[in-house]
Amino acid sequence: MDQVIAQVVGQKYTMMPWPASYRDSLTGRLVKGQYYLNVQSQLISCCAFCTSEASTTGFAVQSLDTDTVKSKSCFKQCFVKFMPTKK
């Protein structure tokens, strides 16, 4: 079952802080799992109300493996960086 872990309404910036409860307290890394992000923008003026289509993306956080690779292989790694918000 999907669970909403963070929600921001009425924000003009394009960044959102990652919830502390979904970070490992020892390493600071994100908790292992599959995450989805939905974004939708709205514009309200004196004569109109516009809502964009929802845009969705997903990513997975995996634990690091400590096995040694014995044969040469080609690995492609992706890194997700969350920028802290300025206060």
Mean pLDDT by 10 residues, the chain (87 residues): 78 80 85 86 84 86 68 66 62
pLDDT of residue 5: 84
Give Cα separations from 56 to 20, 24, 35, 70 (angstroms). Answer: 22, 25, 11, 38
**CA dihedral in degrees (11, 13, 14, 17; nearest 10)?**
-80
> What is the pTM (predicted TM-score) of this model?
0.53
Q: Looking at 1-87, which runs of residues are DSSP E strands?
A: 33-39, 42-44, 49-51, 55-61
Residues in CB range of 17: below 8 A, 6 or more apart: 6, 82, 84, 85
Contact 33, 3 (CB under 8 A): no
C-alpha–C-alpha distance, residues 20 and 28, integer Å: 9
pLDDT of residue 69: 60
pLDDT of residue 24: 85
